[in-house]
Structure 1
Amino acid sequence: MSDAELLEDLRRVASNLGKTTVAQKEYRLVGLYDDSTATRRFGSWNEALKAAGLSISNVLDIGDEDLYENILTLWQHYGRQPRRRELALQPSRISQSPYLRRFQTWNAALESFVSYGNANDSGDLQTTDFSLPSKGARRTSRDPSHRLRFQVLQRDRFACCSCGASPATKAGVELHVDHVTPWSKGGETTLANLQTLCSKCNLGKGAYGEGEG
């Protein structure tokens, strides 16, 4: 779906709720798309709300999911455990203050994130391999959850499965989480059907006609 479709659906949900803002939990219940798609497209849930022309409430009270998502963004960007000082640098969108208010220390925030990231997603099949669903039925959403992305990256040691490149050892490497059997060809969003690729290998995969991830 396009950015315009995502934003229009955010506005639709807000209108149906009779509100000027939408919480991620609310959107998961009645939205047409996965809330994680909006956060990745626009950088955060708050940025998606801004782009949709909706208001943002409780900015100081940032939820755990947004705090975890920011840690995941940094971990994927650096290919290693992020440092507290890196919260002040791009691509971080949250400063250290909310983490200290919520967890007291940065180490405690990291420990909480790792526990969150290694837990199973309740009610889904994302840790099981269902690569070819019968009769076109889809058992998982196209976009992996934050937990599943972390589990894939962690399993692959934050390095490209094709060429071995990692931002931890080479600046400028961008990591993607990609479907082995493409979604367009029936591949499901499962741990067994996802892999870490650098942007160059992922683009090269598409150039050779293997389909988008």
Structure 2
Amino acid sequence: MASRAELLGEIKRLAAMNGAVPRLRDMNEQGRFSERPYWDEFESWTAAVEAADLDVDDTRGATYSDDELLRDLQAVADEDKSVTRTEYRRRGAYSAGALEDRFGSWNGALRAAGLPVNRRSAVEVTCDECGETFTRPKCHLEREWTTHTFCSPECHGEWREGRIKGREHPQFDPSAHDDYSENWGVHRKQAIRRDDEQCVRCGMGRDQHRKRTGRDLHVHHITPRSAFDEIADANQIDNLITLCASCHADVEHGSVEVKA
């Protein structure tokens, strides 16, 4: 699964290639990823673009006002009924992508227009982490890479971190154990300060991490502690790197690598 940094990097690549803020359809047609991981990580395309902090022109729907877009959507919907993206592409005056870009998603545009959101293709599924029942578009479940379903990014993160147990778990608390040696606390603080108090992979800051997870940033041993005869040697600052909980889980799962 793509990390937050990889998702943002792909948005930046498309922006550099096209010289403008990419639209959702640009990602679907030209990008490495589909729209699904962006909904999972950022909850909307607009939020993903904002997180990428692009330094290019934003021309998405610039010539149309919100009212013009919503009035046309309402006209196509007819009698306050919902309308699918495919139906609007056939009968609407503007592109469906312009509505998605302006309001974050197709259902976001429908809500802004006061119309019922699309539910006809949704199916009921169960979150693999908390067991809560929720709806998910059927087309999302038919994609080859969909093997699990989660009701929220939080449940997804908890499930992923739960695959690792014990001392290698990203949220393992070394303060409760005596085999990290006396120099661990000092070197941990030094590593976080050296890395500007942010995750070196995705850039999540210390305050944001505490707000999202309720815990401090993680400090990871680049070369595993088991490779050292003395644990104090493993805790040297040049063997430590600061990560957020999500990136730490990716590293421990072996899906990405970090280097000194």
- With normalisation by structure 2, the TM-score equals 0.34
Instruction: Kindly indicate whether structure 1 or structure 2 has the higher relative contact order, using CA contacts under 8 Å at least 6 residues apart.
Output: 1
Who wins on radius of gyration, i.e. which is larger? Answer: 2
